[in-house]
Structure 1
Amino acid sequence: MVIQKKTPQRMCVGCQEMKNKKELLRVVRTPDNEVILDTTGKKSGRGAYLCSNEQCLLKAFKEKRLERALKRVVDPQIYEQLRSGIII
């Protein structure tokens, strides 16, 4: 019998859909209270996940879902940095 491994599922804070963890981008609030895009998925800190499209980021910004998930006020310039990181 072959035992299948469960793949970790996470919810996108923008569209609120459950997806595989590897399909999503991780945004982290570090212990120094910086909000950064975690490309490795291993940085320490409180994390939130987003789909890799601009609509999810805009929805997370408008409804302040990212702020609630990270438990910190997120500056608009950080959203611009995240947007440029997603588009690249």
Structure 2
Amino acid sequence: MKDKKALLRIVKTPEGDILLDATGKKSGRGAYVCPDPECLKKARKSRALERAFDTAIPAEVYDALEGQMGAL
């Protein structure tokens, strides 16, 4: 298991938006992935984030998360 500080937090806000939380301080339910885009692809394929957030996540949200990860 990796150290939490080495991971990126993805958060589902109380409004239902799913965002990359670079600060780790946004309110809402959080899930952690490694900073490698391959990890996000694995989470997408296994639907891990959908299970963590108990909601369906559209493809455009995953695409936006990948873009945000690439910008870091």
Q: Which residue of 1 aligns with 2:34?
A: 51
Q: Which residue of 2 aligns with 1:26?
A: 9
How much identity, in percent, do the aligned residues show? 48
Q: Secondary structure at the match of 2:31?
A: strand
RMSD: 0.7
Q: Secondary structure at the match of 1:27?
A: strand
How far apart, in 1, do the equivalents of 2:7 and 2:55 lie?
Answer: 21
How many corresponding residue pairs? 71
How far apart, in 2, do the equivalents of 1:69 and 1:47 lie?
Answer: 8
Say whether 1:37 aligns with 2:39.
no
**Which of the pair is proportionally richer in helix?**
2
Q: Which residue of 2 aligns with 1:14?
A: none
State which structure, 1 or 2, has the greater radius of gyration over its C-alpha atoms: 1
Q: Give the C-alpha shift of residue 85 in structure 1.
A: 1.1
How high is the TM-score relative to the length of structure 2?
Answer: 0.93
How far apart, in 2, do the equivalents of 1:41 and 1:30 lie?
Answer: 12
How high is the TM-score relative to the length of structure 1?
Answer: 0.77
Structure 1 residues without counterparts, runs of 5 or longer: 1-17
**Cα deviation code 1:13-48 (max 9, x no counterpart):** xxxxx2111110000000001101101101110000
